[in-house]
Amino acid sequence: MTKRPNFLYFIADQQRADWLGCYGHPVLKTPNIDAIAAQGMRFDNFHTASPVCMPNRASLLTGRYPSLHGLRYNGCRLPLSANTFVSQLAEAGYNTAAIGKSHLQPFTDMPPIGVNADEVADRPDAWRWDDGNYGQEEPGRYTADGRYDFKTPYYGYNHVDMVTSHGDKCGGHYQQWFRERADDWEALHDPANQLPHDYTCPQANRTPIPEDLYPTAYIRDRAIAHLDSCVGDDAPFFTFVSFPDPHHPFNPPGKYWDMYAPDDFDVSLPFDAHQNPTIPMKWLHANWQGAGGQTTPQTAMMLDEQHIKEAMALTAGMMAFVDDAVGDIMAALTRNGQLDNTVICYNSDHGDYMGDYNMLLKGALPFRSITRVPFIWSDPENRKAASSDALASTIDIAATVLDRVGLKPFNGNQGKSLKPVLEGAAQVRDDVLIEYNDGGRRLGFDKPARVRALVSPDWRYTIYKDQDWGELYDLANDPQETHNLWDSADHFAIRAQLAERMNQHLMAQMDESPLADRLA
C-alpha cells in the first residue's frame, strides 16, 4: 500500500460478546457487523481490562490498567497528561476523530454514592491536578444554543462530536443538535409522553423520539459526514465511532421497539443454576425477593424471568439500530473508495449480565457475561474470515494499532500486540488480568469493592479485597461458571498456582514510565 492504513473503530456500550450473530446469538440478527467479521478476525476470548465504562475506555486509549492510568472507577477522570495511542497517531500525521460517546471525564454533575462523609471530606489528594479543562463532557457545557466549542486535542483526538449519557436523553453536542431540530424537544423528553406499551421491566421507556432524531442516528450521520470530509485528504484517518447503546435504559425508538418480542428469548442460566452462590449473589437474591430496589439505575440487580426477557427484547432492538447504523457507515466508506485501505474494528467497552443468574446490568462479580466482549479486526491486507481463541485484553488494542502502523508504543504501555495472532500465531499471552474498583458501597459490601480476576484458558481466579472468600472456576469443564471451587480441597494446588501468577500481575502494576535519565 502507498500509505499507512486508515482505521474505522466501532464500539458499542455494554454489549457482551455473545450478543452478535457472528458470535452465535440464536435470535439477534446483526448482518452488517457479521459482514465485518466475515472479512476479518473474530477474537473469541477477548476480555475487558475493567468491566465498567470509564476505566476500560481509558485502558483502550492508554494500553494501561486502571491502577496505572488513574481512571480507576466511574466518576474519575483520565489525566490530560496521559499519553494515548491516538496522540501518537496524531503526531504521526493521522486525522483523528471521536464521534459519539467518549466518557474519559465525568458527564454528570452528581456526587458519588455509597461513600461516608469523611471519605469525601475536603482534603488534598496524593497528586496535584494540572490546570487543564476537565469538564468538557459535563452537562453545563451544552445548555446554550448553538454548538459548544470543544477544545482539542482531546486525548489525541483533533475532532470531537461529543455524545454523553445513554438512552434517548443523551447530552453533549447531540443535545444541542436535538434541540435545534425538535421544536417540542422538552415534550419529547418528558416521561409522561412516552408511547403506550405493556412492558413492566425497570427502565423500559417507549420513547416518542423518532428514529432520525435518536442518538444512534446522530452518530451515524456525523460519522458519515466526517468520512466524507476525509475524501481527498492525503493524511490517513483514525475515526472512533462510539454508540451509547445497547446500554440501559431500554428505549429503542420507532420500529426497533417491537422488532423483537420477549417470548423470542430464554433465560438459560437462572440463579438456581449456580451450585454455591457467593455472598454478593446471595445479597442480590435477597434484595430481589425483598423488593429492595437499586442503589442507582446503573447498579446490578436481579429480576424475574419475564422482566429479563423484556430487557433482552428491547436490548436486541437497540442493537439492531446500531447494526443498521454500522451498515450505513460502511456503505459510505465503500462509496468513498476508502474501504480498500481501512482497518475496520468492532468492540464493546464491557458486557451485561443480561439474565445470567437472573442478574441484569454489571457490577463487582466478574462473570464472563460482563468481562468477555466482542473484538473484530478486518484488515485490508487479509479480508478473510477467521477466528481465534487467543486470550486478549483491551490493553492490547493500543499496541496492536501502533504495530500495524509501524510505530512503537510509548514507554509504560502494558499491552501486547495482537498482530502475531492476526498473522496466524496461536497466542501472545497466557492469561489476562481484570480489575474492578467500585466508587461506592454496593451489593452488600461494607466498603467499595476492590476486585482482581485472573483469566487463563482453563481457569478464572478472583480475589476480593479484605474478604475471606473468593472464586475459582474451571472454565474447561464449567464454562458457564456455575460451581465455585474456591473451598475445594482438591483444587488448593491450582488455586495456589493461580495466586502466584496473580501476584506476578500485581507486581507489574508499577509504572515503568518515565525511565530514569541518570544513574542516580
Rounded to whole angstroms, the Cα distance separating 286 from 477 reads 29
- CA neighbours within 13 Å on the CB side: how many for 263? 0
pLDDT tens track for 38-86: 999 999 999 999 999 999 999 999 999 999 999 998 888 999 999 999 9
Looking at residue 118, its pLDDT comes to 62
Looking at residue 120, its pLDDT comes to 59
Residue 114 banded pLDDT, cuts 50, 70, 90: low
Residue 116 banded pLDDT, cuts 50, 70, 90: low
pLDDT tens track for 382-429: 999 999 999 999 999 999 999 999 999 999 999 999 999 999 999 999
Rounded to whole angstroms, the Cα distance separating 358 from 354 reads 8
Evaluate whether 61 touches 406 at the Cβ level (below 8 Å). no
Task: With CA atoms as reference, report the closest residue to 359 among 517, 490, 235, 202.
Answer: 202
Tell me the pTM: 0.96
* Percent over 90 (pLDDT), the chain: 89
Looking at residue 115, its pLDDT comes to 61
76: Cβ–Cβ under 8 A, 6 or more apart, which residues? 54, 55, 70, 106, 439
Mean pLDDT calculated for residue range 120-134: 79
Cell of 247: 446500554
Mean pLDDT calculated for residue range 282-306: 94
Rounded to whole angstroms, the Cα distance separating 491 from 476 reads 14
Cell of 219: 452518530
Mean pLDDT calculated for residue range 363-376: 98
Looking at residue 410, its pLDDT comes to 93
- CA neighbours within 13 Å on the CB side: how many for 316? 21
Looking at residue 443, its pLDDT comes to 94
pLDDT tens track for 446-500: 999 999 999 999 999 999 999 999 999 999 999 999 999 999 999 999 999 999 9
pLDDT tens track for 416-446: 999 999 999 999 999 999 999 999 999 999 9
Rounded to whole angstroms, the Cα distance separating 363 from 142 reads 30
Rounded to whole angstroms, the Cα distance separating 25 from 359 reads 19
Domain covering 6-114+134-269+303-429, topology = Alkaline Phosphatase, subunit A (3.40.720)
Residue 1 banded pLDDT, cuts 50, 70, 90: very low
pLDDT tens track for 207-252: 999 999 999 999 999 999 999 999 999 999 999 999 999 999 999 9
Domain ranges of the chain: 6-114+134-269+303-429
Task: With CA atoms as reference, report the closest residue to 95 among 220, 3, 12.
Answer: 3
* Percent over 70 (pLDDT), the chain: 98
First vs last C-alpha separation in the chain: 46
